[in-house]
Structure 1
Amino acid sequence: MDLANSVYTSLLIYFCIFSVSAIGGMFSEKAGIINIGINGMMIIGAVSYLVFTNQIAKWFASSSSLQTSMYWQLLGIPFAALCAGIFAMLHGFATIKLKSNHTISGFAINLLAAGISLILLQIFGNNSKTPKMLLEELKWTQSDGVRKWEIISFKTVLTILIIIVSYLALYKTKWGLRFRSVGENPQAADVAGINFNKIKWEGVIISGVLSGLAGAFFAHAFPASFKGEVNGFGYLALAIMIMGQWNVGLITIIALLFSILYSFAYNASAFLNFLKPYRYLFIAIPYIVTIIVVMATAKKSHAPAASGIPYDKSIR
């Protein structure tokens, strides 16, 4: 595999992970709930997907065609998203029902997810705490006899659909208008008769589901590197969301730029020896740019005005 093919393939993986998880975080904050727990929800999605695929491989061990069938992704990815969505309800319970501090709840979610994943890896980690990925990826490739190029994959199609549907749902529907109003002015939404608590729950669950999808993408692409953590990509998703100013289109563009830098940084040193000393510089660039942009746009931030602020219906 040459450099261009390697960079392109990993770029698609990073783009799917970054964009879907960042959009997930955006949904939560648009509903007024700060979600520092994206990383933890991604971990739950990743470990759920790995446990699912390991069990499938064991149940169909006698049939190699069923054991490695790429179509199991059509069940595994929704399963991971469902598990993460249910897990996200803990954050919803803490922030909506108990009105606790959103940041503290998010960090608690991250710690709890790491603990749960380590326990599951102990049980399903093949006696080495290392899950195996036996499923082939559901994708369409072309080969010239020497190299294989990925044309389109299930994760890419799913990511594009999520971007389009998220944009249309938020900005082109009555539901989206109500959804955004809760994060901007819950008092006005309450007076208008909108069930703001229902919207907040929807935001948290959607955030968990999308983060779980991103975690499943990570697990399938990097199963050997999963040790109860997703390389902190959930925190990077937060940075992308902030740089994207909580806007679906901008988030998508920023996620693509981050993916290009990450892909080049992780692949260039394997092919271009003179770049090896600068590998981590490329990886650090997105974070450096994030800090600069956040500092420069702090006074003009488009963050939802009521994000992170508890609202008590009885007090107006």
Structure 2
Amino acid sequence: MKKLLLSGLFAALFIGGVQSQYNAAAKQNVIKEEVQVERYDSDTKEYKVVTETREVEADSYGNAEGNQYDLAVDGAFEGQTIAVLHLYTGEGFDFSLPTASLKEKGFSVYRWINNPPSPEALDSALAKSCQLWIISSSVRKLNLEHANVIKKYFDSGKGVYIWGDNQPYYADANFIANHLIGNEMKGNIMGDQTVGLLQDGSKSGIMPNHLITTGLQNIYEGITIATIDAHKDLTPIIYGSAGNMVTAAYEKDGKRLLVDGGFTRLFLKWDTAGTGRYVKNAAAWLVNYERFGDAVLAEKEGK
């Protein structure tokens, strides 16, 4: 093989019409770049500069290396708050790892730990938040008044992320998912695998060419996981190694929601394939820029 001498590097990411808060790689899983290299021509016995297309450098799990290959630009959502009903905190789950990743995109996090606030306090806090994440425990802690507050928030176009895990850790996940879109999760499947991109004939993997899966060719599914029921308005995002739907997205009538049966990956084996990028991408998608526009972006200096 002839040795290539790198003389110049510039990204040529093949996507058009990208919004300013998104990186140029948005919707791309296999991200390529054009590079100028010097090659030796044995016929002319001279070096010449040629342009070649190749995949960008990858991390040890095969995902594009660098925040420029996340969905959102770093700092794009400065000043936006993610509210988190953090109802399961066992096994040392303190949400510190997702918080650090989300901060890269400008998000701050406000959590209620182990128990929810009153419906009135929840309503007040959500008025200052760009999205709500619910991490379920094994016992239902939210009541119908909470559910109605969350539905009002969801119906306004604000994003909701519903996290459950293996049975029985989806009590509030199922309560809220049923209340919002008539869906639930069930079961206890051993996962603990990394899955790649969905391809023709494959039964497990990542949905390609979705904003949420930008920059991801491989992702860790979680340890023991629940299965999301099929639903006509849900788009699969991740199928687990057993072929079960682990993560799905709802996008209809200007509303966005994610439902997920594997919250263990938020704190266990975090550094395994793709979790940090996935969390950042999910939050950037749930902001729902396509509905709210620049109101959800960080203010630029001079404005």
TM-score of the aligned structures, taking structure 2 as reference length: 0.23
Q: Which is helix-richer, 1 or 2?
A: 1
Q: Which is strand-richer, 1 or 2?
A: 2
